[in-house]
Amino acid sequence: MSDSGDSDVYWVPYKERPEWSDITPVPEDDGITPVVVIAHSEKFKDVYDYFRAVLQKNEKSERALHLTKEAVELNPANYTVWQYRRDLLKELATDLRSELYYVECVIKQSPKNYQVWHHRRVLVEWLQDPSQELDLTGDTLISDPKNYHAYRRDLLKELATDLRSELYYVECVIKQSPKNYQVWHHRRVLVEWLQDPSQELDLTGDTLISDPKNYHAWQHRQWAIKTFGLFDKELEFVDNLISEDVRNNSAWNQRYFVMNNHLGWSDLNVQKEICYTLEKIRFIKNNESAWNYLRGVLLHDKRGVSGNAVVLSFCEDLFKNRCHSPYLLAFIIDICDEVIKKGETSITYGPERALELCNALADKYDKIRTKYWNYMANKFKALIDLKATY
């Protein structure tokens, strides 16, 4: 639906129609000094000038009803037109089933139009007959799975529909559109209504096999696990994913989620996770995901990044064996930074070493972040210069 079209060839302006000669059109009032004047077509101006006129007169007639139809064709999102059309339908006792059919045609042309869906909802309430609505919303969602699902949920409640069949329907939509936030949210609401999460781990698991980094599947999985306490086998699930792809950042994030929300960060668990992560880093040293996870684990170590002897020894062994992974070098810089902030004196982890590593990263090993490493280098150089003054 638009300002103009092929039908304009046969269109007669209202100002030229004898049956409208009794109406004085009301132009749009943009004010004395409008900031932006919208360039409407002559047809648009004509239709809406006459619409404003009948609205002011509060005329309730068949010709006014027809006028609202033309106004909708030009702008189906105009709420005032739809509201006035409903007033006319009531006043004129119009056949509401023919109106339902008309609205269905508008929806097919403008399926993401909130105003037309609201208009249809009102009609269904007046008729007290929602028998066509699940089919209509189903057909709409087949062509556009990301269309808003709220109307369908209201129907499910009203019709007391079998929610398990709706779960199956949603599963089919997810398989076709697995990164569709709206359908995942719709499923979440259904599971909440049913209070039955028994299928959710399998569904999200299957989805993540084909796309291990599907954010919406992970989000839904975390919600189901946390809401219904489904933590028991999650660490095993995550471990399998990491074993298949040690660089799977989403799986590492899920591991942290399980530790943070279920197993907890006791000293024993911290040490277990450190050992687990170091083994994965030893396997692939240039793995940002594992290094980031190690940082996250050490947040729960009272000794910090610089106080864990196992981690320090591991990093130094890698460095001595000429490992120049930017993540290793950056980690050692973090160790230096923490030692300096603690006010500790260390030959191994002083500003001099941090400066050397920053320069190495800027010049050779992490050139994409050269400006950042130069910034950090200046910071450590300033500390060295300050120390020299004492």
- When pLDDT is averaged across residues 102-108 and rounded to a whole number, the result is 91
Which own/partner pairs from 202-205 qualify as long-range (CB within 8 Å, at least 24 positions apart)?
A: 203/171, 203/174, 205/237
Angstrom CA distances, 109 to 40, 76, 103, stand at 21, 10, 10
Range scoring the smallest mean pLDDT among 31-40, 97-106, 220-229, 355-364: 31-40
Final residue belonging to a domain, choices 98, 126, 154: 126
Residues 108 and 208 in one domain: no
Residue 31 lies in a domain: yes
Angstrom CA distances, 307 to 1, 184, 338, stand at 67, 43, 9
End-to-end CA distance of the chain: 78
User: What sections of the chain are H helices per DSSP?
Assistant: 42-57, 62-74, 79-92, 96-109, 114-127, 133-143, 150-159, 163-176, 181-194, 200-210, 215-228, 234-244, 249-258, 267-283, 288-298, 309-320, 326-341, 351-360, 370-388
Q: Is the separation of the CB atoms in 238 and 251 below 8 Å?
A: yes
Which residue, among 113, 123, 130, 46, has the nearest Cα to 88 in the 3D structure?
Answer: 123
Say yes or no to pLDDT of 260 above 80.
yes
Residue 204 Cα to chain centre, angstroms: 17
Residues 135 and 93 in one domain: no
Please tell me which of 21-30, 161-170, 215-224 the model is most confident about, judged by mean pLDDT. Answer: 215-224
> Residues of 208-242 as b/e, b for ≥16 C-beta within 10 angstroms?
beeebebebbbebbbbbbeeeebeeebeebbeebb
Residue 199 lies in a domain: yes
Residue 387 lies in a domain: no
Q: What residues have CB less than 8 Å from 300, skipping those under 6 apart?
A: 265, 270
| Per-residue pLDDT reduced to its tens digit, 15-57 | 999 999 999 999 888 777 777 767 789 999 999 999 999 999 9
Q: Which domain holds residue 91?
A: 10-126
Amino acid identity, residue 199? Q
Residue 35 Cα to chain centre, angstroms: 34
Say yes or no to pLDDT of 7 above 70.
no
Residues 76 and 36 in one domain: yes
State the pLDDT at residue 20.
95
| Per-residue pLDDT reduced to its tens digit, 323-344 | 999 999 999 999 999 999 999 9
Catalytic residue (choose from 15, 69, 90, 112): 112
For position 41, which CATH number holds?
Answer: 1.25.40.120
Say yes or no to pLDDT of 268 above 50.
yes
State how far the Cα of 209 lies from the Cα of 87, in Å rounded to an integer.
53
Residues 105 and 137 in one domain: no
State how far the Cα of 271 lies from the Cα of 99, in Å rounded to an integer.
68
Q: Is the separation of the CB atoms in 384 and 376 below 8 Å?
A: no
Final residue belonging to a domain, choices 110, 126, 142: 126
Say whether pTM exceeds 0.85. Answer: no
CB atoms inside a 10 Å sphere around CB 103: 23
- When pLDDT is averaged across residues 292-297 and rounded to a whole number, the result is 98
State how far the Cα of 60 lies from the Cα of 123, in Å rounded to an integer.
18
State how far the Cα of 361 lies from the Cα of 377, in Å rounded to an integer.
10
Residue 86 lies in a domain: yes
Residues 113 and 17 in one domain: yes
Which own/partner pairs from 238-241 qualify as long-range (CB within 8 Å, at least 24 positions apart)?
A: 241/208, 241/212
Q: What is the DSSP-derived secondary structure letter of residue 259?
A: I
* Domains in the chain, number: 2
Residue 156 lies in a domain: yes
Structure-block tokens of residue 364: 């050779």
Q: pLDDT-based confidence at 150, cuts 50/70/90?
A: low
Residue 272 lies in a domain: no
Residues 48 and 136 in one domain: no
Residues 135 and 208 in one domain: yes
Residues 144 and 77 in one domain: no
Q: Is the separation of the CB atoms in 390 and 345 below 8 Å?
A: no
Residues 32 and 86 in one domain: yes
State the pLDDT at residue 3.
53
- When pLDDT is averaged across residues 65-86 and rounded to a whole number, the result is 94
Residues 119 and 152 in one domain: no
State how far the Cα of 43 lies from the Cα of 46, in Å rounded to an integer.
5
Amino acid identity, residue 345? T
Residue 328 lies in a domain: no
Residues 19 and 118 in one domain: yes
Final residue belonging to a domain, choices 126, 157, 182: 126
CB atoms inside a 10 Å sphere around CB 323: 15
Residue 45 lies in a domain: yes
Structure-block tokens of residue 356: 């050397």
| Per-residue pLDDT reduced to its tens digit, 174-192 | 998 899 888 899 999 999 9
Q: What is the DSSP-derived secondary structure letter of residue 306?
A: S
Residues 91 and 16 in one domain: yes
138 or 83: which carries more pLDDT confidence? 83
Would residue 112 show up in a list of annotated catalytic residues for this protein? yes
